[in-house]
């Protein structure tokens, strides 16, 4: 699939595509009550509407997804999703504005709702497990003083990543990198049967004892060689390098309130790196279900 596909230009085909993503067997389920006793409504003003025979409420393919209450046509939703899925370093709202022909505010909000859809789109079970290495590492993004003559440079923001070797990543913005916060993240996201791999930072010392094993990487090439390549945090570092290229090249300045959502975006692309762009976009589209993100809520977060 590429951007010449009709679903990105034809509203009826876009609607059908979303319909089949939600209800692959062609039988819609009422998002209000879960009933399968539904019917397509007739009449021009009710195009795309279904009526539930049980709760008597109406719904569309958007109801109960992040697309609900959006006035953006469905083919633009699909195009925006595909563009974010296909762009290795992400895409700025400014570029999305130009490519979709919508206002900046619309593009910005659209992108954030798509990031919300990425959250947990691949499931949210624990990382790692027996005989599995999970690297935990932290980095700092943003905060460049360049091109900011009138404002003080923003402080660098910490991101902690938990990465399975040859597997999935989960990254988080952490306001304060301290033992308490970091332990909370690790124990809720990593199976305790895993072998934890961290740097020598004290924040990992105690939590390390709660795992099947804990190795501390001293950043020297010599140790990497003597342990047969086992003690390293290269997987986390590779993830961070993509994240940082995205921050520098695409998003420039991620506001602290939304940094967690950008983390979801880079996680999702990393975790689906084996997939083609169309399959990755399909995962995101499926993730739109059962989620809401209202402008009021996102605006409050930004304030």
Positions in the binding site for Zn ion (CB under 5 A):
30, 32-33, 35, 52, 54-55
The smaller minimum CB distance to Zn ion, of residues 55 and 193, is found at 55
Residue 50 CA neighbour count, 13 Å, CB half: 23
Shortest Å distance, C-beta 51 to Zn ion: 9
Shortest Å distance, C-beta 262 to Zn ion: 36
The smaller minimum CB distance to Zn ion, of residues 36 and 218, is found at 36
Sequential DSSP letters for 74-97: HHHHHHHHHHHHH-TT---HHHHH
The 3-state DSSP class for residue 209 equals coil
Shortest Å distance, C-beta 58 to Zn ion: 9
CA angle 172, 176, 181 (to 5 degrees): 65
- CA-CA distance, 101 to 91, in Å (whole number)? 15
The smaller minimum CB distance to Zn ion, of residues 31 and 208, is found at 31
Shortest Å distance, C-beta 59 to Zn ion: 8
The smaller minimum CB distance to Zn ion, of residues 53 and 294, is found at 53
Shortest Å distance, C-beta 35 to Zn ion: 5
The smaller minimum CB distance to Zn ion, of residues 35 and 234, is found at 35
Burial class (CB in 10 A: 0-12, 13-18, 19+), 120: middle
Q: Look at strands 58-59 and 50-52 and give their pairing.
A: antiparallel
């Amino acid at each position: 699939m590429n951007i010449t596909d009709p679903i990105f230009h034809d509203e009826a085909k876009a609607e059908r595509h979303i319909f089949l993503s939600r209800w692959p067997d062609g039988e819609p389920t009422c998002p209000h009550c879960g009933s399968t006793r539904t019917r397509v409504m007739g009449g021009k003003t009710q195009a795309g509407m279904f009526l539930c025979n049980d709760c008597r409420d109406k719904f569309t393919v958007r109801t109960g997804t992040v697309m609900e209450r959006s006035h953006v046509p469905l083919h633009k939703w699909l195009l925006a999703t595909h563009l974010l899925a296909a762009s290795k370093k992400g895409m700025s709202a400014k570029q999305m504005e130009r490519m979709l022909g919508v206002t900046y505010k619309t593009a910005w909000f659209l992108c954030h709702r798509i990031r919300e859809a990425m959250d947990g789109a691949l499931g949210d079970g624990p990382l790692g497990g027996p005989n599995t290495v999970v690297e935990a590492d932290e980095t700092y993004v943003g905060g460049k003083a360049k091109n900011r003559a009138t404002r003080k440079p923003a402080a660098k923001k910490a991101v902690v990543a938990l990465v399975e070797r040859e597997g999935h990543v989960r990254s988080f913005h952490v306001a304060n990198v301290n033992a308490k916060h970091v332990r909370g993240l690790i124990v809720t996201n990593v199976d305790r049967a895993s072998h934890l791999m961290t740097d020598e930072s004290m924040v990992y010392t105690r939590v390390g004892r709660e795992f099947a094993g804990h190795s501390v990487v001293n950043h020297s090439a010599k140790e990497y060689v003597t342990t047969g390549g086992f003690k390293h945090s290269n997987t986390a570092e590779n993830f961070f390098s993509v994240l940082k290229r995205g921050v520098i090249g695409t998003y420039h300045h991620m506001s602290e309130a939304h940094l967690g959502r950008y983390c979801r975006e880079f996680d999702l692309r990393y975790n689906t790196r084996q997939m083609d762009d169309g399959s990755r976009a399909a995962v995101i589209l499926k993730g739109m279900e059962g989620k809401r993100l209202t402008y009021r809520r996102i605006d409050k977060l930004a304030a």
